Structure 1
Amino acid sequence: MSERIAKLLVQFHLPILLLALIFALLSWPISRQLQLDWKVDGMFPPGHPLVTSYYQLQERFGGNQVALAVYRDPELWDKSGAGLERLAAISDRVSSVPGVSAVLSLAELHEILETLRGPLQLLNIGGPRLPPLLDPDDELAQAFAEVFAGYTHQPNSEYVAIACLLAPPDTLEESSTQGWSSRSAPHAPAAVDSKAGMQHQQTIESLRAVMLDLPSPASEGLVTGEPVLVHDGFQMVQRDGWRLGVISSLLLLVVLLVCFRSLRWTLIPIVVVHWSLLSTQAILVLLGLNLTMVSSTLTAIVTVIGVATSVHLLLKFQQSRRSGATRPEALTATYATLLAPVAWACITDAVGFASLMTADVGPVRDFGLMMAIGSLMVLVAIVLVVPGLALLGRWDTDPHTPKLDLWVRLMLRRILEWILPHRRVGIGILLAITAFGLFGSLRMRVETDFTKNFQASSPIVQGYEVIERELGGAGVWDLMLPAPRGISNEYIAQIDALEQELRALRVDRQEESLALTKVLSIADADLASLSGALLKNLPISARLEGMRRAMPEFTGALLSPLPDASGHRWLRIMLRSRERASAAAKDELIHAVSRKVRDFTHRPAWLELFDAPPPESVVAGYHVMLGALVSSLLQDQWTCFLYATLGIFAVMTLATRSLGLALAAMVPNALPALLVLGTMGWLGMPVNMGAAMIAAVSLGLSVDSSIHYLLHYRRRLRAGDRPLKALRSAQENVGLAAVLATLALIAGFVSLTTSEFVPTVVFGTLASLTMLGGLLGNLVVLPILISPRS
């Protein structure tokens, strides 16, 4: 069958090449429509509880994405009020940024307190007083300052934050509905961009421009928060996509030119790669898929697969030409011999990547599907593109013999001659490495600090460090609790009691202690208002209405004005905690808060506030979502690895028609990934999104060499060679191709280490290590497992 297909490919190479060209021209305009999915909820499966709560938070409180504009002002607490006036001016500029639906800062609070003091100041016969927030004798002002402490400021700290509520990218935010501040009124809402998240991209960049142009002596302006983290991550993905593709292509061009000294046979693999990329991207568009957080590696990995696969064809073609065959004869022999191994190799690549589709993390699932399609399109490109380009014209027709060809073959032969007599020693070392990897993998932990996805020198990390140090913690999350139609003093008292219990919560894990650094709700504002002589005598309904009129930014964010479909209003408690904490401590704190709220809201005193059993409370927010996202990585790692192992074992069994050979092939290719992960466990290196993909991906890629090795071995046996002679032939011929292909793989993956996005760097580094381990496994371990015993 392979020989018949090979003859057809050579005979009709020009029409087939024309077909490939037409397909590329049709794919080009479609592939340009591929977009980047900016939505955080896209990282979770549809219907996930955290996605549901995410949308509920947006629906009930008019959006939940808050960016913090932070700066330092040595005159912030100056008795003259100059620092507060400067803050008001900066808040005005921030609120006028398109995409910012409202702001909340000390400036708004100061303005409200000045308004409240107005009537009282008329009765004050003691002369002028300090501005409210700067007056230690103003009990009302100090009470409200305490409410916002740890959110917009810290007492005696020179750093101050302006909380910016970002308009949801998929809705139009009217400035008068559920806003945080009337300061947002001057600008009209921007039209929704068809590309999700583009509005936030422009908004965040505009906010940064404002914070880089601060009036003196204000300085150190920055913009931070979970939306900014996600924005910067996607920005890096966009930059990496093109840059990494170019770098990997250049590195591979150098490798191929040095090895084969042929421009034609250097360009052929590159054409294979870009044809595969074009067709893959077009298919993704037609399937309605978008690029995701980890998609920056798409171009680089397709480049690696295409070049590595082409190297096997190139070497076989070169060997046939060296033996005296014409170009058509050499190409026919190449395809007749290697079409089946190449096809099985691309299929195993696809199966390895497709196993990632079993992950819970959305970007990992999408990446698996993209790369599975890309692997199969490499196979199509090998069939459609290579014959025509190899036989077209008469310039630079043949690749040269690779430099060090004889030396590499000699080394491979000596390796085989040394390992076969030492089979028992090799198996003992193999078992020791397996135990090391298995026990080390049990010690693996997950990195839940999303800032660790960025280089330590990046502005976003530096901003988070300021928030952690000066403002009580960068982890911002929320509680949503049902509220009766009419808010009563008893309800406010219950909310206050719950907050007191939440503030007392503390989780201790090993030597780490973690607690909530801020608990804020409308109950705190209401209790603070009781410090005012006139306000404390008003009924609760009047106080809340007064706050709604005076502080729409506060009440709109923390208390829904209208009942939802269930007939309930909702109250929001804003929580803050440390971001720089272990995964276990974060997870335990989130669960402790959830348990506390669940127990509290099932007490009789709470239930008596409602006419009917109220809905359950909900924990929500970016902090919880990102924590859950990375916490699922470790489970995904092993789930994907298991599915990849089973899938690739099935493909190997079909390819070799032998359970024994298929099982033997799995050992040297699974072992490097296990060893790398085990080493990470022993060294205490946390698993991030990049490391979570490495086991399944490396298994799928490194097993390619095993397929070529085993099929060559079986082919020589069928030709009448004795097992040892067949093994030597596979070791020298396939081993040479495996060395060059792995060199190409590593060169491609090394390009990923230049990324600004840490998961991409980790993925590139670990992939390079596992590819090198897979090469050693196929040249050392595989011969031990399949060689004759006598």
Structure 2
Amino acid sequence: MKSTLIASPRHGLAHFLVAWRWWLFGIGCLLAIPLTIQQRDLGMDRSLASMFASDDPTLLQYQHLQRTFGGNLVVMLVYDDPDLMTAEGVRRSQAWTAQAESLPGVRGVLSIAKLVEAFHYIQPPMSLSDAASFLTSESSDSKAGATSGSKMLSQDDPIALAFRGMFAGYTHSPDEETAAIVAMLDTDQSQAAVEGLLALAEQLPQERRPVLVGEPVLLDDAFDLIEQDGNRLAMGTIGLLSLVMLLTLRDYRVVLLAILTIAWSTVATRASMVVLGMEMSLVSTILIAIIAVITVASVMHVGIRMKDRVTTASQNHSAAIAFLAVPIVWTCLTDAAGFASLLQSDVQPVKQFGAMTGIAAISIVLSLLWFTAAMMSLPGWRRFSSDESALRQLEGSGEASLDGRFHQSMMWLVCKSLHHRRGLTGLAVLGLIVSTVLAARLPTETSFLKNFRDDSPIVQAYERVERELGGAGVWDVVLPAPEVITPEYAERVRKLETQLRQVQVVSADDGETYCLTKVLSLADADGVAAMSPLLAIVTPEIRLAGMRAAIPTFAEALLTFKSSGELSSDPIDRELRIMLRSKEHMPGDVKQDLIAKVTQVVHEFDEDASVTGYSVMMSRLVDSLMRDQWQALIISLLLVGALIAIATRSVRYALAALLTNSLPVMFVLTAMGWLGGGLNLGSAMIGAVSIGLSIDGSIHFLAGYQRRLSHGMRPDLAAAHAATDVATPILLATLALVVGFAILISSPFIPTATFGTLIAATLAASAIINLTLLPAAVVAFESRLFDSSNESFPT
């Protein structure tokens, strides 16, 4: 049989690499200097908007909300105060509200203290003749606000009760024993504002149990944990993998080669990201893990090949490099193809991750080019005068007999799988179909809080908000509004809010009913204001102008106002915002149904209205991730299959490799479902990434298999010997990688822990399948039939 591309050695290139090894080493080191300088400019975008493509409709609606209402970054400083609705409670609120309002990056604040001032416009404590001045004033007198506080705190005034009830769930709990200072932040200074509010929370008496919650806080905590995981992974992976390689191969040269390759490839990839204008994102911190996987899988083969030869002679180095160069290059290319499948994703971090890891795979090839020959030409642990003396001493030790027993065990296992090749292949196909169907039915987790462990402070803080303030899920409805707010329009909005409060979704799993926990707009404020005899005689536009004067930040965050004297020919050029709240902890399918029903009700009110906000963004982000996962997996299989078909010049071999490498992914995802897990950010990329990572063993097996076929060996014998030959490097590489990814399992950020667990399990399953099922499938897929019963398998 004619030798194929994948099995053809490149002795000329190998001799060149060995002859010029120190020049290449120097080139690699010199290139690392500008790359290291360049990669220092790589930043990390922590915003929610960075997770979406620039033309994504969900992002465009969210950005429109931010532009129209002056930003949408809101955080809540929550604290206990059983005496909140007393003069003493109001004074505490005033003092802490003033501190929060003075912080850099805080645009405005809404609190009980602010409500006391606002109520001054609804129930002014002075004569009717002075009412007009309050309706047109641009600022409120804090002393007058404090004086009128007794009216808002009244337990028998229906207007006061309605006013407080309107803001229950925002500035205070329904039982009025938990207070919240709601701060609206400037987008450009949100980080400084969050830091200042966190410092303020630490200054509050600890018996008040102060906590800070909100989208910026949640994302900051997530990114902090991710960066910590990245640092742990960078140090732990390299350290543990180096230790495993040193103990298993007992060759420091392989460890040095791996460290140099990981370091150079990481720097080159990060520098390339800077040049391409990319930033680190939610999934970018596993870059070193991916580079370590590909690197260790490659250098393990180099280490095993050099260990088998037990020599430092340059000619044997050339032979070893020539033997492995082409399979390693094709391995990196198929890795890059698997990762490149993520470029089709609509989620920006996933798309950038695909580009980033594709670049990393190419960088590893270049790094191995610079350093392999130089590192492996260093003297080993033991120096012998000749190859023969080394081999004789090795045979005299227990190591040779141990290797022999392992070789015999692997040969027996592979031969057993070859004897049952047709049955195993059929079961594999059936298992793949069944596991794919089951994996496709896994539930998705849309709550961002589920990314943190239950005992984490951020989860406990949000559970408190869920329990005491009615819900931590924040989203919004944006409605077109007329140029002048009329009583008819305000009444229509209040009817819409009534419909929204009646929307319910029943969970199919536990029968629990979910609904919106809060619906609030300026139409509600206008309705309460109209209860006042003084304000009932004026129009809604005047009442809302008074509300704007009392609490400008809150009013302008809910309705667009025109400047004085501004004219427009467009009868509908304003927008009104309805703020919605819901339970953050709800099943993913329930949340999607609730969003769909709310959207339907809103579109019935006005087709140009939109439903957006943080909770909607996160739900659609996870939904998009799950959808992209299957698309990326299909594209990954097509690209990797095409490359293997080109390399081996055989579609049958490509199909066998795809079968055996997609099966572990589906099995692991199905097992996760059986254990009660769901798909989250950590499992969203597992399919495409696993295909790219696990294909290494398949390529090295196929290289050895075709090489033996070209020498006239029978297919079953060629498969048995090829699988046994690559068993040691595959199993040792898998051991090292499983240990490396075990670092992530204890991460406090659950998607990172999920990713590490799934990758480790998938790689372990892939190693076993590549050494048993793949040889059986390749032989079963051979077009020419032979009678294996007439010739015995090797023993």
Normalising to structure 2: TM-score of the pair? 0.89
Please list the CA deviations of residues 44-64 of structure 1 after superposition, one character each: whole Å capped at 9, or x if unmatched.
122111111111111111101
Pair 1:164 & 2:162 matched: no
Q: Is the 8 A contact 1:200 1:231 kept in 2?
A: no
Q: Is the 8 A contact 1:34 1:291 kept in 2?
A: yes
In 2, distance between residues paired with 1:233 and 1:359? 22
CA positional deviation for 1:444: 1.0
Equivalences for 1:742-753 in 2 at 5 Å?
742-753=734-745
Normalising to structure 1: TM-score of the pair? 0.89
Partner SS state of residue 373, structure 1? helix
In 1, distance between residues paired with 2:514 and 2:278? 40
Letter in 1 for 2:689: V
In 2, distance between residues paired with 1:285 and 1:404? 49
Letter in 1 for 2:118: I
In 1, distance between residues paired with 2:757 and 2:488? 59
Equivalences for 1:129-168 in 2 at 5 Å?
131-168=150-187
Partner SS state of residue 557, structure 2? helix
Equivalences for 1:532-611 in 2 at 5 Å?
532-562=532-562, 568-601=573-606
Summarize the Cα distance change of 1:665–1:40 in structure 2 as closer, same or farther, 3 Å threshold: same
CA positional deviation for 1:742: 1.1
In 2, distance between residues paired with 1:103 and 1:130? 18
What are the ranges of 5 or more consecutive residues in structure 2 without an aligned counterpart?
1-8, 130-146, 385-389, 780-785, 789-795
Partner SS state of residue 288, structure 1? coil
Residue aligning to 1:695: 687
Pair 1:305 & 2:315 matched: no
Please list the CA deviations of residues 58-114 of structure 1 after superposition, one character each: whole Å capped at 9, or x if unmatched.
11111011111111123223x4x2122112212122222221111111110013335
Residue aligning to 1:779: 771
In 2, distance between residues paired with 1:238 and 1:201? 16
Does 293-302 or 131-140 show the bigger shift?
131-140
Residue aligning to 1:85: 91
Pair 1:490 & 2:484 matched: no
Does 657-666 or 430-439 show the bigger shift?
430-439
Letter in 1 for 2:192: Q
In 2, distance between residues paired with 1:7 and 1:710? 24
Residue aligning to 1:96: 102
Q: Is the 8 A contact 1:103 1:553 kept in 2?
A: yes
Residue aligning to 1:353: 339
Letter in 2 for 1:27: L
Does 520-529 or 460-469 show the bigger shift?
460-469
Residue aligning to 2:196: 206
In 2, distance between residues paired with 1:240 and 1:557? 37
Pair 1:74 & 2:78 matched: no
CA positional deviation for 1:147: 1.1
Which of 209, 230, 233 is the aligned partner of 2:219? 230
In 1, distance between residues paired with 2:401 and 2:731? 12
In 2, distance between residues paired with 1:369 and 1:570? 40
Summarize the Cα distance change of 1:675–1:122 in structure 2 as closer, same or farther, 3 Å threshold: same
In 1, distance between residues paired with 2:96 and 2:348? 38
In 1, distance between residues paired with 2:655 and 2:522? 63
Summarize the Cα distance change of 1:201–1:457 in structure 2 as closer, same or farther, 3 Å threshold: farther
Summarize the Cα distance change of 1:366–1:308 in structure 2 as closer, same or farther, 3 Å threshold: same
Summarize the Cα distance change of 1:441–1:416 in structure 2 as closer, same or farther, 3 Å threshold: same
In 1, distance between residues paired with 2:342 and 2:488? 51
In 2, distance between residues paired with 1:565 and 1:385? 71
In 1, distance between residues paired with 2:430 and 2:615? 41
Residue aligning to 2:63: 55
In 2, distance between residues paired with 1:513 and 1:451? 20
In 2, distance between residues paired with 1:9 and 1:584? 57
Residue aligning to 1:265: 254
Residue aligning to 1:607: none
Please list the CA deviations of residues 263-299 of structure 1 after superposition, one character each: whole Å capped at 9, or x if unmatched.
3322221111101101111111111111110111111
In 1, distance between residues paired with 2:230 and 2:94? 41
In 1, distance between residues paired with 2:430 and 2:110? 60
In 1, distance between residues paired with 2:182 and 2:538? 30
In 2, distance between residues paired with 1:306 and 1:21? 18
Which of 456, 475, 478 is the aligned partner of 2:473? 475
Residue aligning to 1:757: 749
In 1, distance between residues paired with 2:683 and 2:322? 38
CA positional deviation for 1:544: 1.8
CA positional deviation for 1:214: 0.9
Residue aligning to 2:43: 35
Residue aligning to 1:280: 269
Letter in 2 for 1:231: D
Pair 1:112 & 2:118 matched: yes
Residue aligning to 1:249: 238
In 1, distance between residues paired with 2:706 and 2:461? 60
Residue aligning to 1:390: 376
Summarize the Cα distance change of 1:130–1:729 in structure 2 as closer, same or farther, 3 Å threshold: closer
Partner SS state of residue 212, structure 1? helix
Pair 1:376 & 2:362 matched: yes
Equivalences for 1:598-677 in 2 at 5 Å?
598-601=603-606, 616-677=608-669
Root-mean-square deviation (Å): 2.4
In 2, distance between residues paired with 1:326 and 1:117? 93
Residue aligning to 2:761: 769
Residue aligning to 2:447: 449
How many residue pairs end up in the alignment? 738
Does 134-143 or 484-493 show the bigger shift?
134-143
In 2, distance between residues paired with 1:264 and 1:711? 25
Letter in 2 for 1:496: R
Q: Is the 8 A contact 1:445 1:684 kept in 2?
A: no
Letter in 1 for 2:64: Q
Residue aligning to 1:318: 307
Summarize the Cα distance change of 1:129–1:427 in structure 2 as closer, same or farther, 3 Å threshold: closer
CA positional deviation for 1:681: 3.5
Residue aligning to 2:353: 367
Summarize the Cα distance change of 1:118–1:431 in structure 2 as closer, same or farther, 3 Å threshold: closer
Summarize the Cα distance change of 1:118–1:482 in structure 2 as closer, same or farther, 3 Å threshold: closer
In 2, distance between residues paired with 1:654 and 1:646? 12
Residue aligning to 1:4: 12
Q: Is the 8 A contact 2:503 2:516 kept in 1?
A: yes
Letter in 1 for 2:437: F
Summarize the Cα distance change of 1:22–1:411 in structure 2 as closer, same or farther, 3 Å threshold: same
In 2, distance between residues paired with 1:439 and 1:550? 58
Q: Is the 8 A contact 1:262 1:396 kept in 2?
A: no
In 1, distance between residues paired with 2:635 and 2:120? 65
In 1, distance between residues paired with 2:666 and 2:787? 27
What are the ranges of 5 or more consecutive residues in structure 1 without an aligned counterpart?
170-198, 603-615
CA positional deviation for 1:424: 4.6
Summarize the Cα distance change of 1:167–1:490 in structure 2 as closer, same or farther, 3 Å threshold: same
Summarize the Cα distance change of 1:129–1:658 in structure 2 as closer, same or farther, 3 Å threshold: closer
In 1, distance between residues paired with 2:494 and 2:787? 77
CA positional deviation for 1:636: 1.4
Summarize the Cα distance change of 1:465–1:326 in structure 2 as closer, same or farther, 3 Å threshold: closer
Q: Is the 8 A contact 1:443 1:684 kept in 2?
A: no
Q: Is the 8 A contact 2:253 2:378 kept in 1?
A: no
Equivalences for 1:498-513 in 2 at 5 Å?
498-510=496-508, 511-513=511-513
Does 329-338 or 724-733 show the bigger shift?
724-733
Summarize the Cα distance change of 1:205–1:102 in structure 2 as closer, same or farther, 3 Å threshold: same
CA positional deviation for 1:425: 4.5
Partner SS state of residue 84, structure 2? coil
Q: Is the 8 A contact 1:443 1:682 kept in 2?
A: no
